Amino acid sequence: MTDHSPTLTLIKSMASNGGASYSLDVQTLLVITVLAFLPGLMLLMTSFTRIIIVLSVLRQALGLQTTPPNMVLAALALALTMFVMRGVVQQEQNNALDPYLAGQINFTQAVQAAIPPEQNFMLAQTRKAPLHLFVDLSGGHYASPKDVPLTVLVPAFATSELQTAFQISFLIYIPFVLIDLAVASILMSLGMIMVSPTLISLPLKLLVFVSIHGWVLVLGALANSFITGG
């Protein structure tokens, strides 16, 4: 009985070529595996984490619990992520995908060629403190940040993105807190202690946010907060 399993195909390919040459079956299996981890890779290796955190805090600062819905926020964050990462994706397509589809390089070479653009993007956003932390935890010594492997760079990048997202969220939250305090103080001075400040401050915050084109300012500030050069 003939066995056409990916493992046997890979072994035959290695035996005939004298090296590791992945067959089409194995490549398909690897692609399916990568697709299964794609959501996690998007969270940890792109601008999605910073954007979705800031948008979620903005919604909370406005006093809106479910508006915009989570699905809308995620779609908006995904669209902005694609915009921010367009340069990285273009480099990966030019260096890895197009040569691989043209048959100029093999699958392993394509994967290796796709790493540097993503690595440069993460290094540009990663702060020194998280990077030093995970380098020390790994026990490795590297001549330059570009020598840091992805297993160390990815958690450092994710930690740095959390810190940056919280800093941006703090700056966004402060004006809305001031509006809440002002409304509460005015109601108390008028003796209207039975009136909920949220009842007055919510439409006032929405009016101010829309009047200053808040979505344009927030999304523009988020897009500009990423260092895309290098």
Q: What is the mean pLDDT of the chain?
A: 80
Among 133, 160, 155, 135, which residue's Cα sits nearest to residue 145?
A: 135
pTM: 0.76
Query: In this predicted structure, what is the pLDDT of residue 13?
Result: 42
Which DSSP helix (H) or strand (E) runs through 94?
Answer: none
Reported as a single tens digit per residue, the pLDDT across 80-131 is 988 988 888 888 888 888 887 877 888 788 878 888 888 888 888 888 888 8
Query: In this predicted structure, what is the pLDDT of residue 166?
Result: 92
Query: In this predicted structure, what is the pLDDT of residue 139?
Result: 80
Query: In this predicted structure, what is the pLDDT of residue 38?
Result: 73
What SS3 state is found at 86? helix
Mean pLDDT of 210-225: 89
How does residue 24 score in pLDDT terms, banded at 50, 70 and 90?
Answer: low
Q: Which residue has the tokens 């809106």?
A: 64
Query: In this predicted structure, what is the pLDDT of residue 54?
Result: 92
Query: In this predicted structure, what is the pLDDT of residue 17?
Result: 43
Query: In this predicted structure, what is the pLDDT of residue 22?
Result: 53
Answer for the pair 156, 130: CB distance below 8 angstroms, yes or no. Answer: yes
Q: Whole-angstrom Cα distance, residue 40 to residue 18?
A: 35
A 10 A CB-CB count for 229 gives 8
Query: In this predicted structure, what is the pLDDT of residue 148?
Result: 83
Query: In this predicted structure, what is the pLDDT of residue 93?
Result: 83
Per-domain residue ranges for the chain?
Answer: 69-125, 154-230
More confident residue, 103 or 25: 103
Supply 91's token pair. 């480099």
Reported as a single tens digit per residue, the pLDDT across 46-71 is 889 899 999 999 998 888 888 888 89
pLDDT of residue 20 exceeding 70, the answer is no
A 10 A CB-CB count for 220 gives 11
Q: Which residue has the tokens 């935890």?
A: 137
pLDDT of residue 34 exceeding 80, the answer is no
